[in-house]
């Protein structure tokens, strides 16, 4: 029986991974989280509660584990380099070291399809391209690189570069940040809205992790892009939001270089104004076309996403209506 530990089990990715793994008869699921009360309803596996920033807890959490699903993250869409290092990079690297020492045989890692965008993202095994303007992305890539270096016959690594999160239990992501900004009518199309958005429902992400955690015949290091069954353009998504939910459409378009320059200016003005930037370079980067598809994940893992983007967006907006009473901050709360 494959004993699988899900680190970050109460987050967007982790909660969907728990549900997908729990449906399999060949897996014993263990949830690692700080607050068991936030686990998905109906979860009945073992819980190892604690804080991954505690080295003793990290070492204890991975004991007796065959597979580790790295779903824990503290994220920010811009800045906060010190917090990202302290709350995300360092604890995850320590957990990886503890897993190797404990004899964990496989790690399935959460990454992003934007890690190598736009130049090399079509190839899921390519090295990421660090972007100094986005410390969180730099740290995501640092974790990828560490896992690539540590991978071997006794420590398999499956790196999943995920598309943009949509669906139930939404967290920090493109749509919750973008939609309130559309209402200002100041956000333009970028490149005419022609680039594609790899919107991916959380349930499809859970399926991908379950497959990656249990697949046979994998190499020491594997990388897969994981996106939804369709790849709509930015224009198609915003026109859908306009038609179904009344969000304004942009009135003008700018090319990517202008969008990056304007976003950089907004970031530079942040110390002078009492509100968050209208747009940041990370948001512009997420609008770049990744070229990602599921060909390798389907061939090697059997991954076949089934949740159309429109239905996933509808689920997310239904939750936003209930839970999001004000514009979402671009950084997770410090804790």
| DSSP secondary structure letters along 237-299 | HHHHHHHHH-PPPPS-EE-HHHHHHHHHHHHHHGGGSSS--S--HHHHHHTS-----SHHHHH
What pLDDT sits at residue 333? Answer: 67
Q: Which residue has the tokens 């997770």?
A: 332
- Helix H or strand E segment including 165: strand 164-166
Residues 241, 182 contacting (CB under 8 angstroms): yes
Q: Enter the tokens of residue 167.
A: 């669906």
For residue 54, what are the contacts with CB-CB under 8 A and spacing of at least 6? none
What pLDDT sits at residue 162? Answer: 98
Domains and CATH numbers, the chain: 2-167+200-228+291-307 (3.40.50.720)
Q: Which residues pair with 165 in a beta bridge?
A: 200
For residue 178, what are the contacts with CB-CB under 8 A and spacing of at least 6? 187, 283
- The Cα-based distances of 166 to 41, 173, 274, 308, 328 in angstroms read 20, 8, 29, 10, 15
What pLDDT sits at residue 267? Answer: 93
What pLDDT sits at residue 160? Answer: 98
Residues 124, 118 contacting (CB under 8 angstroms): no
What pLDDT sits at residue 170? Answer: 82
What pLDDT sits at residue 334? Answer: 58
Whether the model clears a pTM of 0.75, i.e. scores above it, the answer is yes
Residues 287, 234 contacting (CB under 8 angstroms): yes
> Which of the residues in the chain have pLDDT under 50?
none
Number of neighbours of residue 137 by Cβ within 10 angstroms: 25
Q: Please, what is the average pLDDT of the chain?
A: 94
Q: Measure the CA–CA gap between 247 and 154, rounded to whole angstroms.
A: 51
Residues 276, 330 contacting (CB under 8 angstroms): yes
Residues 48, 72 contacting (CB under 8 angstroms): no
For residue 44, what are the contacts with CB-CB under 8 A and spacing of at least 6? 22
- The Cα-based distances of 33 to 9, 59, 83 in angstroms read 6, 14, 19
DSSP tag of 79: -
What pLDDT sits at residue 126? Answer: 97
Strands (E), 51-163: 67-70, 106-112, 156-162
Q: Measure the CA–CA gap between 33 and 52, rounded to whole angstroms.
A: 8
Q: Which residues pair with 157 in a beta bridge?
A: 107, 221
- Angle, to 10 degrees, between the axis of helix 202-214 and the axis of helix 12-22? 60
Q: Measure the CA–CA gap between 130 and 44, rounded to whole angstroms.
A: 39
């Amino acid at each position: 029986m494959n004993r699988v530990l899900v680190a970050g089990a109460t987050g967007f990715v982790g909660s969907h991974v728990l549900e997908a793994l729990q449906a399999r008869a060949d897996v014993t699921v263990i949830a690692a989280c700080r607050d068991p009360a936030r686990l998905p309803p109906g979860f009945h596996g073992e819980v190892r509660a604690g804080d991954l920033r505690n080295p003793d807890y990290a070492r204890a959490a991975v004991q007796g584990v065959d597979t580790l699903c790295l779903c824990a993250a503290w994220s920010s869409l811009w800045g906060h380099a010190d917090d990202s290092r302290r709350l995300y990079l360092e604890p995850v690297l320590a957990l990886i070291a503890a897993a190797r020492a404990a004899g964990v045989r496989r790690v399935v890692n959460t990454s992003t399809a934007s890690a190598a965008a736009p130049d090399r993202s079509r190839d899921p095994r390519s090295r990421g391209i660090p972007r100094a303007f986005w410390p969180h992305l730099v740290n995501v890539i640092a974790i990828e690189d560490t896992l690539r270096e540590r991978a071997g016959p006794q420590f398999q690594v499956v790196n999943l570069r995920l598309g943009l999160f949509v669906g139930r239990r939404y967290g920090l992501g493109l749509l919750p940040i973008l939609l309130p900004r559309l209402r200002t009518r100041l956000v333009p199309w970028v490149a005419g809205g022609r680039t594609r958005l790899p919107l991916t429902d959380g349930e499809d992400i859970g399926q991908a992790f379950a497959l990656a955690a249990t697949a046979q015949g994998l190499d020491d290091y594997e990388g897969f892009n994981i996106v939804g069954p369709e790849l709509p353009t930015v224009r198609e998504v915003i026109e859908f939001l306009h038609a179904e939910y009344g969000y304004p459409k942009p009135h003008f378009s700018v090319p990517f270089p202008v969008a990056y320059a304007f976003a950089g200016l907004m970031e530079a003005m942040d110390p002078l104004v009492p509100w968050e930037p209208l747009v940041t370079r990370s948001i512009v980067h997420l609008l770049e076309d990744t070229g990602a598809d599921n060909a390798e994940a389907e061939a090697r893992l059997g991954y076949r996403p089934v949740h159309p983007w429109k239905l996933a967006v509808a689920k997310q907006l239904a939750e936003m209506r209930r839970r999001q009473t004000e514009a979402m901050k671009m950084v997770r709360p410090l804790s």
